Structure 1
Amino acid sequence: MGLNDEPPPLSGGVLPLGNVSLLRPAEQFFDEMLAGWTTQQTSRMLAAQTIKTRASQVRRFADFCNTPPWEWSPADVEEWTTSLVSGPRPLAVSTVRAYQNAVALFCDYLIDHRYGWVDRCVDLFGTHPTQVCHEWNTVIHTSDHEARPAVRPLCRAELQAFFDYADDLVDRARSSGRKGWQTLFRDATLFKTIYAFGLRRRKAAMLDLHDFTRNPQGWEFGRFGVCNVRWGKAMKGSPPRRRAVLAVFDWTRPVIEEYVTEVRPRFDIANESILWPTERQTRIRLEHIDDRFADWRDDLGLDPVLHPHCLRHSYVTHLIEDGFDPLFVQQQVGHRWGSTTALYTGVSGDYRNRTLRRALDAAFTPPEAIEGGSR
């Protein structure tokens, strides 16, 4: 039975749902199921975007099957998954797992007898939904890090080339009087800020001007000594986590200060707090960040697998290479576990060689060669 197909009529010739007669029974009953699932997730205080995304994924599965939930089977999951990983643009393993997880959670909700969907489906359709996702047809989470192996931090030369290119574009546009140099300046500063504080895209895009404060132990950075992240990655059922990221690079203050004092005021800003406004007086879109980074990356001939999140990886790697304490770096990027921070780190061969040399010198230097040493 497809989503728009009508089941055999009951007494009276209609399919009743309470006191309502349904014109498209399967489709409308499916909508009611999704609405109930939305309410259940809202009660658990899950993020609205999470709920919306899951519902979209379930609908995508339903469209693929062209059948209502009470007719889904494990074979449908397997055929759908095969379609997701086939073709010229197969989905990543983590994305496939998210899709499968949404379907599995929806089925768990439907077969929970506390909600009554099983009984209602049996009464109305003569069958009921089952759990179609199991350990033999879904992706198992076996690794903490599932990014594509080719994705890596930018080396220092690549990072410098990227920032230099961004600055050159701004200078050429401003000197020629071209419209839009302010936007180029904003984007160049945004990418530098992402790297300077090891931010994710969304956290950077959501920054407000007052999210920067002074650090009494870092007077050199002025009002930009601390970046207060208010939209950190949330745990399930919890609000976004907050953290304070300390400025560590000496160029941070002049870069952000120039943008804030000389360029940002040129935007017609309705909301005075937005740090990265657009010409339409809205916050910058994540898609714009992705597209701008890709354009500049491709213009420079850099590795096409690099994306904005690689700036965060670069931040972690370069701090470790420069000798910052791993616990400090972990706290800066907001990781709960040091093992997660380690996954972000791609220290260079030079750094490892220096570390090895220090260890060897300490192990094999004779006592008389150490200042103050004696036999």
Structure 2
Amino acid sequence: MRTQSPRSPDASTVRALLPPGVAILNEPETVWAAMLDGWSAQQLARNLSLSTIVSRRRLAERFRDFAEEYPWAWTVEQVDHFFMELRALRGGSRSTVLGYQNALRMFLGYLTDPTYGWGELCWERFGTHPAQVFHEWNTARHVQDAIGEPGKRPYTRNELEDLFDCADERVVRIRRAGSKGWIPAFRIATLMKTAYAWGLRRNEVRMLDLVDLASNPQARQFNDLGIVYVRHGKAMRGSPPKRRAVLTLPEFAWAVECIEEWLTEVRPLFVAPLATMLWPSERGHGASPIAADSVSRAFNEVKREAGLDDTLDFHSLRRSYVTHLVEIGYDAFFIQQQVGHEHASTTSIYTGLSPDYRARVVNDAIARMAHATTTDSPKEN
């Protein structure tokens, strides 16, 4: 899983991609290629995965081929026709439409950002400039409230990447705009990753205190984040909150780096020195934790911007944790202890194994059967 710093990306500029004074034969195509390279560099500087960068680049190329125009000539009508064909003729799902629109919106956001200079260059060379043609009134985000199928489920790995990428990109975008809102955006991005990487419920993660983070003598590579002590676990009726210790697993070492960055570089910017809440609210100099409603509201904003199904809620991060531990091969009882379930049957409800995993299980079973048949068959004299 990828993570990302709130620092502005050190992406290639127009001057670096198209040095002044250099003769260009096919000017529009050369500028177009430089735009794609610049956008790829920007995303790479944000530590996004190569697969995400490649898929987004291909989508931009696909839209350019459909529009038969370069970005400085794209229109809202072309947006309408592209997505009408995607839905009506190609059977694209609502979540696919939202994901595509979000990616193309970010591409045009990059091109229209004066920091990179594409608007000025296009105006000098073509007498026009790129404009944002993806708005609230012509995208699928607000067409209807519910876009998913009924029933709760875990995120797929690609959906998790989209969710965390979107959360990270919001931090960079808000900070570059000069707003202090990038700190709360960084807080919710890190909180979401923490909930997934340790399989925590919303209340469990928001109530974490600095004293709940401890080292694990058996896993010193995680420094002071080898164990997360949950003191506000879901309680039985009439009982106090359940406590448990969640071990940090090697597969989630990236989340340790996220929290360390939050603790050392971002959190000190808006809390009093003696505040101990891991995710402090803006009120009272960080003496109280972030409110549950604030977590849900900020999370839903990120999820909608990422174009994900409404059935994928905050608790789906915990479902994903359980599912992925099963797929990795962790012992069922160990998983049950990690998430604090009283009964193994509860843990099984959380599991939504991917088709690829189920296919591997079937293939392994067939291979074992074939091997057993070969081994047990009588040898010919």
TM-score range (shorter-chain normalised) is 0.5 to 0.7
Tell me how far apart the structure 2 counterparts of residues 240 and 269 of structure 1 sit (CA, whole Å): 28
- What's 2:279 paired with? 276
SS at match of 1:260: helix
Tell me how far apart the structure 1 counterparts of residues 336 and 358 of structure 2 sit (CA, whole Å): 19
Offset of 1:369 from its aligned partner?
A: 7.3
User: Is contact 2:281-2:290 (8 Å) kept?
Assistant: yes
Q: Which amino acid aligns with 1:357?
A: N
Tell me how far apart the structure 2 counterparts of residues 169 and 351 of structure 1 sit (CA, whole Å): 32
User: Is contact 1:267-1:278 (8 Å) kept?
Assistant: no
Offset of 1:270 from its aligned partner?
A: 7.0
User: Is contact 1:367-1:374 (8 Å) kept?
Assistant: no
Tell me how far apart the structure 2 counterparts of residues 201 and 374 of structure 1 sit (CA, whole Å): 59
Report the CA distance shift for 1:216/1:369 in structure 2 as closer, same or farther (over 3 A).
Answer: farther
Offset of 1:359 from its aligned partner?
A: 1.7
- What's 2:104 paired with? none
SS at match of 1:252: helix
- What's 2:269 paired with? 266
Offset of 1:312 from its aligned partner?
A: 0.5
Q: Which amino acid aligns with 1:352?
A: R
Q: Which amino acid aligns with 2:263?
A: V
2:232 maps to 1:231: yes
Tell me how far apart the structure 2 counterparts of residues 228 and 348 of structure 1 sit (CA, whole Å): 30
Tell me how far apart the structure 1 counterparts of residues 176 and 220 of structure 2 sit (CA, whole Å): 34
- What's 1:340 paired with? 346
Offset of 1:201 from its aligned partner?
A: 0.5
Offset of 1:268 from its aligned partner?
A: 2.7
Question: 5+ residue gaps in structure 1?
Answer: 1-147
Q: Which amino acid aligns with 2:332?
A: P
Q: Which amino acid aligns with 2:201?
A: R
Match of 1:252 among 247, 250, 255: 255
Compute the TM-score of the two structures, normalised by the length of structure 1. Answer: 0.57
- What's 1:182 paired with? 183
2:332 maps to 1:329: no
User: Is contact 1:221-1:252 (8 Å) kept?
Assistant: no
Tell me how far apart the structure 1 counterparts of residues 182 and 299 of structure 2 sit (CA, whole Å): 16
Question: What fraction of aligned residue pairs are identical, expressed as a percent?
Answer: 48
Q: Which amino acid aligns with 1:346?
A: G
Report the CA distance shift for 1:349/1:284 in structure 2 as closer, same or farther (over 3 A).
Answer: same
Bigger radius of gyration among the two: 1
Offset of 1:271 from its aligned partner?
A: 5.3
Tell me how far apart the structure 2 counterparts of residues 180 and 368 of structure 1 sit (CA, whole Å): 65
Compute the TM-score of the two structures, normalised by the length of structure 2. Answer: 0.56
User: Is contact 2:230-2:243 (8 Å) kept?
Assistant: yes
Question: 5+ residue gaps in structure 2?
Answer: 1-148
2:322 maps to 1:316: yes
Offset of 1:247 from its aligned partner?
A: 1.0
Offset of 1:366 from its aligned partner?
A: 4.8
With 224-233 and 273-282 compared, the bigger mean Cα shift is at: 273-282
Tell me how far apart the structure 2 counterparts of residues 299 and 363 of structure 1 sit (CA, whole Å): 47
Q: Which structure exhibits the higher relative contact order, with contacts defined as CA atoms closer than 8 Å and separated by 6 or more residues?
A: 2
Deviations 1:40-63 (A, max 9, x none): xxxxxxxxxxxxxxxxxxxxxxxx
User: Is contact 2:156-2:320 (8 Å) kept?
Assistant: yes
Aligned pair count reads 226
Deviations 1:253-306 (A, max 9, x none): 111100011111111337521111122133101111111111111112210122
Tell me how far apart the structure 2 counterparts of residues 284 and 292 of structure 1 sit (CA, whole Å): 11
SS at match of 1:250: helix
SS at match of 1:330: helix
What pairs up with 1:161-200 in 2 under 5 angstroms? 161-200=162-201
